[in-house]
Structure 1
């Protein structure tokens, strides 16, 4: 090693933020290990790199004693005073023991250490760049895919879109550009691992925020959303400004805003409904697109009975119960849906039961 090597380290400090002094200390520790490994010595030693010239020396450390028992670690007082008459018993004397071909080992070791530190620094920079972005959306290019995971190239690093976070039915081909939600950033021995999702509710939330300025400004608030990825979602919104229609703001002119989100989600249907502090009105809204006649609620049990016109029953329930299921998740209420004719029968039975018992009680045998 020489002065040019030191200058290269200083260049790295400017370009990559790797502290020269830290690098030199790490290189000295690595060289000491290399010295012990290659020369099989058990003596105490240290490696010193001159901060001006770059010269590398191995210094054996020996304790000054009256009588030497182990010449590898001890030196007599007489020998020590030949080096410096001020030495006393118990002092530590350093004697240069640099091997003849140690320069070659030093150069190889230093190169390995520096390259490793550069890799670690790059990994740390990537981790720091993404660690604070959990909950953001990124765009990547499909680099490769296996039976379970899709790997996206984000430029400086690669991210993983696991099978569980992929929208059912989606297919990914090499070179496709894909947007996804940063679910988690993990620090691993091989570098940062970025986990993405296209099924997380946060992905839909962020897409809406990107498309709807009123959500970004805070005029419209997204109160809650639920998803069955690839199939249907429900979004409850509220406006802090009475002059702004929250549903209209999210849908956009001629449905342009919501359609952009639907396209990104490959056709996933999105119901945007108005949030209301009155649970009866909110539950009725949540069952959109079905029309609701009335809502009866039992506050303590958080149970609601919803009455709909006969021709709206199947729409209110939805295919395989999906509409009712999502409405229940969105509102936090257990919802029981009945048609008007079903309710007429229930009321008739209740009426007959009540008045039948009352009449029976008044008869004489």
Structure 2
């Protein structure tokens, strides 16, 4: 070993952010194992690194005792005091046992330890860097795709997008720039694994934060999002400032703000409704664009369930294609919604006869 090792450790500390002391400590532990493996020793060993010379020294450690029962681990008080009169029973003495050819073993071990620590440090650095982006949007480059994933490069790391996180009908071409939502970051033995998504509702929220300054600064708040990715999304917004229209602000002049998000999501329909503290008003808003006549709650049976009465000519609009409008409204509000046409409610009220419930949860 030589001073070159010290220079290399200093460079690693600057370039990789790996503490020189951490590497030296790891090398000392590894060299103890290497010494015992190569020289068949079982004593208590210590390795010390001489930073001035860049050399490692091996020591066997023995305890000072009144009567020696195992010479590998113990030394008598008389023998210890021949070295120094200051030794007492219970003290420990280091005897240097560095072999003449230990430099080669030390160099090989040091190389292995450094490489291992560099890999660990790079994994941890990448994990620490990208774990900060969890729940955020990052723009990456599509690298390739297979039956399981679309691979998106961020430079230092390659993220994966599972099939369930890919927008239906969206084609991912190599070298295409793509905005993705960082859904999860895991620190595995093979390195940081970043999972990204184009279907997560969080993507929609972050896109609106980028397009609407009032959402970014908190003047307008996105209260809830219900999304069927690639098709339709409903967003509930509110503002504590009575002078601000949260829906109009989010939509933007001539719909420019919402259109920018729609374009990023390849034409996904986005409904923006006003959140209301009164559940009946919020539920009515959530079924937009359908008109709502009344919202009735059954607080005794199920306080999170309601019947929504709509005009007959708005029944299909309220339910939506394949029940989508009502389904998204239920997700947005957290209520189980049963939609009834006005004529059916009037029929029950007038005759008391039982009728089949129409609508959708």
Coarse TM-score class (shorter-chain normalised)? 0.7 to 0.9
Is 1:150 the equivalent of 2:150? yes
Q: Aligned in 2, Cα 1:212/1:97: closer, same or farther, shift over 3 Å?
A: same
| 1:34–1:277 Cα change, 3 Å | same
Whole-Å separation in 1 of the counterparts to 2:14 and 2:79: 46
Q: Which residue of 2 aligns with 1:171?
A: 171
| 1:62-111 superposed Cα distances (whole Å, 9 cap, x missing partner) | 45567766554455667656655665666544333222221111111112
Shift of 1:52: 0.9
**Separation in structure 1 between the aligned mates of residue 20 and residue 2 of structure 2, nearest angstrom:** 14
Q: Name the count of aligned residue pairs.
A: 351
After TM superposition, give the deviation of residue 199 of structure 1 in Å. Answer: 2.0
Partner of 2:160: 160
Q: Which residue of 2 aligns with 1:307?
A: 309
The partner residue of 1:329 within 331, 334, 337 is: 331
Alpha-carbon shift at residue 288 of structure 1 (Å): 1.2
Shift, 1:303, TM fit: 4.1
State the match for 1:361 in structure 2: none
Determine the C-alpha separation between the residues in 1 that align with 2:49 and 2:139: 46
Q: Find the residue that maps to 1:221 and give its secondary structure.
A: strand
Deviation at 1:147, TM superposition (A): 1.6
Residues 133-165 of structure 1: CA distance to partner in whole angstroms, max 9, x if unpaired?
321111222233332222221222222222232
Q: Cα distance, 1:34 vs. partner?
A: 0.9
Larger Cα-atom Rg: 1
Superposed CA offset, 1:184-203 (max 9, x none): 22222222222222222222
CA RMSD of aligned residues (A): 2.7
Query: 1:180 maps to what in 2?
Result: 180
Q: 3-state SS of the aligned residue for 2:199?
A: coil
Name the SS of the counterpart of 1:169 in structure 2. coil
Separation in 1 of the partners of 2:69 and 2:278? 91
Task: Determine the structure 2 residue equivalent to 1:138.
Answer: 138
Cα 1:303–1:61 change in 2 (3 A) is: closer
Alignment deviations for residues 232-257 of structure 1 (CA, whole Å, 9 cap, x no partner):
11111123333322222111222221
Provide the C-alpha distance between the structure 2 equivalents of 1:296 and 1:97, rounded to a whole number of angstroms: 87
Return 294-303 or 61-70, whichever deviates more: 61-70
Compare 245-254 and 85-94 and name the one that shifted more: 85-94
Q: How far is 1:178 from its partner?
A: 2.3
Distance 1:241 1:74 in 2: 79
Normalised TM-score (structure 1): 0.85
What is aligned with 1:40?
Answer: 40
Aligned to 2:99: 99
1:348 CA displacement: 3.8
Secondary structure at the aligned position of 2:244 is classed as coil
Measure, in 1, the Cα distance between the counterparts of 2:279 and 2:272.
17
Distance in 2, Cα, partners of 1:83 & 1:67 = 17
Contact 2:284 2:295 in 1 (8 A): no
The runs of 5 or more residues in structure 2 that have no matched partner are 355-361
1:100 aligns to what SS in structure 2?
coil
